[in-house]
Chain A
Amino acid sequence: MLRKTLGNFLQTLGKAPLAFIINLGYFTQFVAKSVYNCFMPPFYLRLFGAQFLNIGFYSLPVVGLTTLFAGMVIAIQTYSGISEYGAESVVASVVLISVTRELAPVLSALMVAGRIGAAMAAEIGTMRVTEQIDALVTLSANPFRYLIAPRIWAAIIVMPLLVLFGDIIGIFGGYLVGVYKLDFNPANYITNTMDFMQATDIVMGMVKAGVFGFIISVMGCYHGYRSKGGAQGVGEATTNAVVTASILILISNYLITELFFAR
């Protein structure tokens, strides 16, 4: 009796880590296969273009709004924190650094993960449960090249551009608050911003964005590709894609920052 209970207990205890390891195995295999197929012809330029437009162009409003308000709020917070002395140059520089290094890449990536990661998981998941992916195989098309590679390429290439756009809008948000609310001199604000601007900050933000683009597309495709069990399965895949992508974005953001900025 005791032995049986203990056995059941151990079995339950072992199930979760075992499932985790199995899934990790599937995931690693999936990523390796995806990356390999990203470099293998045929390349579907039309599908890449469609994804580029979808991830990039149609995300402009959401990325613009997010970074605009992020820049604005940083300006106010910085000003209220150190209002007495040299606020003008401090606000401009803090807005610049926080937007280009962190806020634009991370907030844009989280917004795109919600918008695009979910859409990828839902679309590929639906194709999986309606056997469209099997149909691709029977029609001699490799699903990794047809479905996944264009998405990964598009996300990696378009995310840095989105972040560059977010940088400009975010800094503009700081400028709006600085000039129209805090009564800074517009010319001085711009001069201060330019003085503190460093190419490495902007480039690092864009490198991060490329990594985030990879994470978003891979998580979206992975969860979609492995979804099963009809509408419920697709729903779960969508949620998992967004949650895992968001967490990985935050973790990798820390790791990249530590790698390049911690001295």
Chain B
Amino acid sequence: MTENKIEIRNLYKAFGKKQVLNGVDLDVKKGESLVVIGGSGTGKSVLIKCIQGLLQPDSGSIKIDGIETVDGGGNIHEKMGMLFQGAALFDSLSVWENVAFVLLQKGKISKKDAKNEAIRVLRQVGLAPDVADLSPAELSGGMQKRVGLARAIITKPEIIFFDEPTTGLDPIMADVINDLIIESARGLGATTLTITHDMASARKIADRIAMLYQGKIIWIGTVKEMEKSDNPYLHQFITGSAQGPIQMEV
């Protein structure tokens, strides 16, 4: 039982009349990298927001390390880090203050030490120390993602979430970010949950892939199993075809 880091059972979430999550069951094993794929608007973002307590699910259970979190149980945020789709850096703070935000919040560390630690982690994600004093608005999209990653991993979290980590990046930068994700997660021994619709990224970083469609996990397996699978929905998605059982609402 303890092997599962995250256990989701029968998770439902609706916005008004739109049922976004329709009974999601999903296990993420300790130390594995699980990638959830699915088209736009299938509820991928809602799923990870529910896990992080940013959204309250209508019903269902989410256990982290076996502890139920849906009712606000457990101090979940201390175990988690998240890389947001648009990096979500605080634009009123400098880069290093963003990275060291949690350290400064706790106040147990001097400003100088916090900055040194921020610079160390920035180096780890391939950014030079002189970036530390810039403001986030002065950085390119790829650099912002790196800073976002640095902010997510500075506390050495046990679980890291990646929300569309490669969206909006050129293919080479996307691959650089993929490598960074793999390296940093492996370095920390962290469990990671990534949501993406970038199949190149999914193939590269995933131990297992789960496909979310109409608010349910309709397929789950390794990358190898995915390539061989004859699930028509999965096949249509990974080949990127307009023809198939998935009809896009235009």
Q: How far is the CA of A137 from the CA of B78 in the complex (A)?
A: 10
Verify B77–A130 contact, CB threshold 8 A: no
Q: How far is the CA of A42 from the CA of B85 in the complex (A)?
A: 29
Pick from A130, A134, A139, A141: contact of B49, CB under 8 Å? A134
The residue of chain B having its C-beta at the shortest distance from the C-beta of A137 within the complex is B54
Verify B84–A131 contact, CB threshold 8 A: yes
Q: How far is the CA of A40 from the CA of B176 in the complex (A)?
A: 43
Tell me if A182 counts as interface (CB < 8 A to partner B). Answer: no
**Chain B 98-118 interface mask (CB, 8 Å, partner A; 1/0):** 000110010100000000000
**Chain B 12-36 interface mask (CB, 8 Å, partner A; 1/0):** 0000000000000000000000000
Tell me if B219 counts as interface (CB < 8 A to partner A). Answer: no
Pick from A42, A131, A140, A141: contact of B88, CB under 8 Å? A131
Verify A135–B102 contact, CB threshold 8 A: no
Verify B151–A139 contact, CB threshold 8 A: yes
The residue of chain B having its C-beta at the shortest distance from the C-beta of A146 within the complex is B105
Tell me if B206 counts as interface (CB < 8 A to partner A). Answer: no
Tell me if A132 counts as interface (CB < 8 A to partner B). Answer: yes
On chain A, the residues within 8 Å of B151 by CB distance are: 139
Tell me if B82 counts as interface (CB < 8 A to partner A). Answer: yes
Tell me if A12 counts as interface (CB < 8 A to partner B). Answer: no
Verify B53–A131 contact, CB threshold 8 A: no
Q: How far is the CA of A131 from the CA of B148 in the complex (A)?
A: 12
Verify A140–B78 contact, CB threshold 8 A: yes
Tell me if A5 counts as interface (CB < 8 A to partner B). Answer: no
Pick from A42, A135, A140, A141: contact of B84, CB under 8 Å? A135
Verify A140–B77 contact, CB threshold 8 A: yes
Verify A131–B86 contact, CB threshold 8 A: yes
Q: Which residues of A in the span 104-148 have a Cβ within 8 Å of any Cβ on B? A: 127, 130-132, 134-141
Verify B105–A139 contact, CB threshold 8 A: yes
On chain B, the residues within 8 Å of A42 by CB distance are: 105, 107
Tell me if B90 counts as interface (CB < 8 A to partner A). Answer: yes
Verify A139–B101 contact, CB threshold 8 A: yes
Q: How far is the CA of A227 from the CA of B94 in the complex (A)?
A: 25
Q: Which residues of B in the span 99-139 have a Cβ within 8 Å of any Cβ on A? A: 101-102, 105, 107
On chain B, the residues within 8 Å of A140 by CB distance are: 77-78, 102, 105
Q: How far is the CA of A121 from the CA of B54 in the complex (A)?
A: 21
Q: How far is the CA of A131 from the CA of B91 in the complex (A)?
A: 12
With contact pairs A130-B88, A132-B88 given, residues A138 and B78 touching in the complex (Cβ less than 8 Å): no
Verify B86–A138 contact, CB threshold 8 A: no
With contact pairs A139-B101, A140-B78, A140-B105 given, residues A134 and B53 touching in the complex (Cβ less than 8 Å): no
The residue of chain A having its C-beta at the shortest distance from the C-beta of B52 within the complex is A138
Verify A141–B105 contact, CB threshold 8 A: yes
**Closest CB-CB distance, A240 to chain B, in whole Å?**
21
12 contacts between A and B (CB under 8 A): A42-B105, A131-B85, A131-B88, A132-B89, A134-B49, A135-B82, A137-B52, A137-B54, A137-B77, A139-B102, A139-B151, A140-B77
Residues on A lying within 8 angstroms of B by beta carbon are: 42, 127, 130-132, 134-141
With A135-B90, A140-B78 given, name 15 new contacts (CB 8 A): A127-B90, A130-B86, A130-B88, A131-B86, A134-B88, A135-B88, A136-B90, A137-B54, A138-B77, A139-B102, A139-B105, A139-B151, A140-B77, A140-B102, A141-B105
